[in-house]
């Protein structure tokens, strides 16, 4: 899916976990702009 492995990322307190779900859905060819309280993709976890 194009994710960077073996790394630890720390995001701010205001970054919802659902951003990761949006990113994963988009990588699985399920076009998703938002999910519950997401604010966008987590591009930092992509290679």
* pTM of the predicted protein model: 0.80
Cα 27 to Cα 13, 14, 20, 39: the distances in Å are 24, 23, 11, 17
pLDDT at residue 24, rounded to an integer: 92
**pLDDT tens over the chain, length 47 residues:** 777 788 888 888 999 999 999 999 999 999 999 999 999 999 888 87
- Tally of domains in the chain: 1
pLDDT at residue 39, rounded to an integer: 94
Range of the domain at 1: 1-47
pLDDT at residue 10, rounded to an integer: 87
pLDDT at residue 15, rounded to an integer: 93
Q: How many helices (H) and strands (E) does the chain have?
A: 1, 0
CB–CB of 43/24 below 8 Å?
Answer: no
Measured distance CA(20)–CA(35) in Å, rounded: 10
């Amino acid at each position: 899916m194009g994710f960077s492995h073996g790394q630890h990322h720390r995001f701010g307190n205001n970054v919802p976990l659902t951003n990761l779900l949006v990113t994963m859905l988009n990588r699985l060819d399920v076009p998703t702009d938002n999910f519950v309280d997401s604010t966008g993709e987590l591009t930092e976890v992509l290679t």
